Structure 1
Amino acid sequence: MLGVACALFVGTALAHSGSLGGSRQDLSVPQWLVLMTGGGAVGASFLLASFVTDRSFLRAVHDSERGLGSPVRPLVVIGRIGGVVGLVGVLVTGLFADPLGLTQPLRNLAVLVVWVGWWAGFSMTTYLVGDTWPVLNPWRTVASVLPSLDRSLPERVGSWPSVGLLLALVWLEVVSPVADDPTLLGAVVLAYTVFTVAGAAVFGTETWFSRVDPVSRVFAAYGRVAPLTVEDGRVRARVPGMALSEASWLSGRSDVAFVVALLWVTTYDGFVATPTWRGVVTPLVEAGVPAPLLYPLALVVGFVLFYGAYRLAARSGKRAADSLLTTDEVARRFAPSLLAIAAGYHVAHYLGYFLSLSPALLGALSNPFSPPPPLELVLPSWFGGVGLTFVLVGHVLAIWVAHTAAFELFPSRVQAIRSQYALTAVMVLYTMTSLLIVSQPAIEVPYL
């Protein structure tokens, strides 16, 4: 049976694959129907949550946890060693790709581990299972054994550096050939290693990885969607997404901006590989606007629009609830709900990509310096509907989390419901944007 399955679904990966961008399948239903159904589902979930739940029911669901025991220390040690070994493997097979004859992206361990195994596969585990990055993080492991100056990072700086770095990393991924050039990828990873370890040595590991390092902050945020967490050295199970109803880990505007940036960059990464984006940039490029300028401009403008829409929704929610709370407090309290949307879209965007290229990854892992010809898993046509399902699940979960937060934030049931009107409208807009992207076939990023 296994041989039959392989014969049906696995084929030789195309040598001209180019960028390792995510793959999507065409849908057999009209796009307008997908968008209207998705937006309607999110709106209906808001009405259902508003009229059939109360505070005691919400609290019972969110407080349900179960202890699963203590992590085994040998596993932690193995995880840390594995993270460092993985980093060394990426640097070696990336920086020395030419002498090793590993220049083809789908036969290079560095390319496959970073984009398929780590950014796609591992990222999904952080919100589907739990965040193990603090253990696996090789930069944190290396920095922890080095002396630190323990300089203080001014409070006014907040977490804004992580916002800027996250936007910069996604811009670099989109506009450069770092996704399919092993040597360039190795150089980028080396530069990031030096920068991160040096920063942790100056400001201390706790400060750096909790306030500055964008990778650690992405996985920590995603981990709050997951059903497993570690508290006081013990693994605990909870209902997926329920930890998002608690917002004490967000301390100011910069933390809220980071959550919005995470949602936006996940959307942006998919949007620039759609026919819609090509239709937008083609007349601009033909009019003489440099294509490389359009990508950072769209990245920044899109973030400003996403963040502005969210702030406007928070302000409108405060006014609708007739509350004395500040807009900043309302924005902070509802921000974690956006992570469910980001996680839903991320898995929709990367699940097919991860599955299709996992045979090539396994081949490279089995023989890093002489991998076999890359294989690609051919996904069935109906798999496109799986992505849409994850998008909707993420948005419905976000509505539930926001509903719970509203009941905890406002004393009156009427206030709690009214406070969500504008936020629900924004979530419907986010939903339809995500579905617009997922429902389109992936193309090469134009003009780059």
Structure 2
Amino acid sequence: MTRSIIAHGLGGSSDLPVPYAFSVIGAAWALTFTFALVAFAWRRPRFDPDNPVRPLPSAVTAGVDSPVTRGIAAVSAVALACWALLAGLCGPQTQANALLGAFYVLLWVGLVVLSLAAGPVWRVISPVRTIYLLLQRITPECLARPRLSYPESWGYRPAALGLFAFVWMELASPNPAAVPWVETWLLVYTVVLLTGAWLCGQRWLSRSDPFGVYSMAVSRLSPLRRDPKTARIGIGNPFDHLLSLPIRPGVVAVLAVLLGSTAFDSFSSSATWRNFADRLAGAIHAVPATVSLTVLRTVGLLVFVAVVATTFSLAARATGGLDRERRHALPGELAHSLIPIVVGYIFAHYLSYLVERGQQAIFALADPFGKGWNLFGLGHLHVAYVLSTHPTVLAVIKVTSVVTGHIVAVIAAHDKALRLLPAGHQLTGQLTMMLVMVSYTFTGLYLLFSA
């Protein structure tokens, strides 16, 4: 996709008037002070997923759990998906096509906001899950029971592959702006999920749907959750909610794809990357430039994801006092601490993209076929560049998002380490993780300013 669609609203360093040196120094002090505070004043674990929440009125839980509410939400999501697909098929085959905005903006970035605000909403609004449930009602003899058991050893690994397929499509494929490419991606996604659900039932959807696992992971930072005893919806401590992240194979890979791909997107917009890519493409004459660039971006994307997964896993295991089996389990046990970093960097990287490109996507859906329609009075509105025209505010939001995400991650990791690490290793066992998180912070700020 041309960068006008995929740039995610990030400009260059000229859009960030806050000096980079000041941001790095501030981040260093904030993380150092946070780690010193929790290391020496926080000696007992305080967070627990079983802690009670402050319940909201019972009508809220009843309304959310109502089949009518869920049915309306599910049908509305299917209708919106069909509308966007029709736009892809019948609308203008240009960057202005409504399917592109719905796919790259409203789905990928908007899902983060929805999940933070309302919990793991994708399990309710997923069009594929809705189609599967309808097929189950229509043909109960075919879908009454799973034909195979979902292998527990797979965990979230299929979802990690699905997420990588999405970010590859967005950041490394030859032409992400081509509507047929997006339609093909969605067709494969739907076929894979429905076939897996036919074989393994809904467990396949809950473990393998990349957007479902994405929504579930992000929602662990939401203050809204259900009371563990009464199942009533309430407001609780997000640190307690973070600990409810299921620990399954592939959970680190999922978060590594999310963080690594966002970092690569920033880096691929920098002058350093562009100059390197241009020199390499010019040096390889036997291969078309499009192919060489696709291969190069694919390798770069893989490297960024692998670096996140490797550094986090090694840092989590760099402690003494545990046997090999327990040390091997530590990355999964601490994976929840990556969620604040992922969310913070997503907000820093994609916020202006969501607010401003999101408006364009909604306006395009009001005129999906390029006929001059004005559905709901949206077709003739203009984008309000509320963030791009206030660069100082945007810069502060970006830097604050990155630093806050890392501070929350340090606190979450420390509290869990107090439960996992034996006495005598509870401080030293966190030093490597602290260094890795500091390096993530500096790298994230550097990429943010150099993009």
TM-score (normalised: structure 1): 0.84
Show the counterpart of 1:8.
none
Instruction: Say if 1:156 and 1:357 are closer, same or farther in 2 by CA, change over 3 A.
Output: closer
Does the aligned pair in 1 maintain the 2:344–2:402 contact within 8 Å? yes
Aligned-partner Cα distance in 1 for 2:257–2:98: 29
Q: 1:32-431 residue pairs with structure 2 within 5 A?
A: 32-55=21-44, 58-59=46-47, 63=51, 65-68=53-56, 69=58, 70-72=61-63, 73=66, 74-97=68-91, 102-106=92-96, 108-146=97-135, 147-148=142-143, 149-176=146-173, 179-206=176-203, 208-230=204-226, 233-246=231-244, 249-252=246-249, 254-288=250-284, 290-316=292-318, 318-319=319-320, 322-324=321-323, 326-369=326-369, 370-371=372-373, 372=379, 375-378=382-385, 379=388, 380-382=390-392, 383-412=394-423, 414-431=424-441
1:64·1:238 contact (CA, 8 Å) conserved in 2?
A: yes
Deviation at 1:385, TM superposition (A): 2.0
Residues 361/169 of structure 1: CA separation in 2 closer, same or farther (3 Å cut): closer
Asked if structure 2 preserves the Cα contact closer than 8 Å seen for 1:345 and 1:434, the reply is: yes
Question: In the TM superposition, what is the alpha-carbon distance from 1:299 to its structure 2 partner?
Answer: 1.8
Q: Is the 8 A contact 1:39 1:429 kept in 2?
A: no
For the aligned residue pairs, the C-alpha RMSD in angstroms reads 2.6
Deviation at 1:394, TM superposition (A): 0.7
CA distance 1:274–1:417, shift in 2 (3 Å): same
Shift of 1:228: 1.2
Residues 355 and 286 of structure 1, relative CA distance in 2, 3 Å threshold: same
Instruction: Give per-residue Cα distances to partners, 1:36-64, cap 9 Å, x unaligned.
Output: 432342232111221222426x2489935
AA in 1 matched with 2:305 = F
Cα deviation per residue 1:412-443 (whole Å; 9 max; x = unaligned)?
A: 3x4322221101111111111211122234xx
Deviations for 1:292-318, whole angstroms, at most 9, x for unmatched residues?
Answer: 2111111222222222211221221x2
Hey, what's the Cα distance between the residues in 1 that align with 2:126 and 2:176?
21
Q: CA deviation at 1:246?
A: 4.3
Q: Aligned in 2, Cα 1:80/1:31: closer, same or farther, shift over 3 Å?
A: same
Residue 373 of structure 1 deviates from its aligned partner by 5.5
Change (3 A) 1:156 1:117: closer
AA partner of residue 22 (structure 1): H
CA deviation profile, 1:246-305 (whole Å, cap 9, x unmatched):
45x1133x2232232322223223322222322443443333282221111112222222
| AA at the equivalent of 1:391 | V
Q: Structure 1 unaligned runs (5+)?
A: 1-15, 442-448
Query: Per-residue displacement from partner, 1:195-243 (whole Å, max 9, x unpaired)?
Result: 222221222122x123222221111111111111246653232123432
Separation of aligned partners in 2, 1:375 and 1:17? 20
Alignment match, 2:139: none
- Identify the range of structure 1 (422-431 vs 402-411) with the bigger mean alpha-carbon deviation: 402-411
Equivalent residues of 2:120, 2:216 under 8 A apart: yes
CA contact (8 A) 1:384 1:439 kept: no
Contact 1:242 1:401 in 2 (8 A): no
Distance (Å, rounded) in 1 between the aligned partners of 2:212 and 2:248: 17
Deviation at 1:105, TM superposition (A): 2.8
In structure 2, distance between residues paired with 1:37 and 1:276: 25
CA distance in 1, matches of 2:72, 2:81: 14
How many residue pairs match? The answer is: 413
Alpha carbons 1:127, 1:222 under 8 Å: kept: yes
Taking structure 2 as the reference length, what is the TM-score of the superposition? 0.83
- Residues of 2 paired with 1:358 and 1:162: CA distance? 25
Contact kept in structure 2, 1:71 and 1:233, CA below 8 Å:
no
CA 1:422–1:349: 2 relative to 1, 3 Å: same
- C-alpha separation between the residues in 1 aligned to 2:201 and 2:262? 29
| C-alpha distance in 2 between matches for 1:282 and 1:177 | 15
Letter in 1 for 2:129: R
Which residue identity is paired with 2:248?
S
State the distance in 2 between where 1:180 and 1:120 align.
Answer: 17
**Following the alignment from structure 1 to structure 2, what is the Cα–Cα distance between the partners of residues 264 and 384?**
21
Q: Alpha carbons of 1:60 and 1:152: their partners in 2 closer, same or farther (altered >3 Å)?
A: closer
Q: CA deviation at 1:374?
A: 6.8
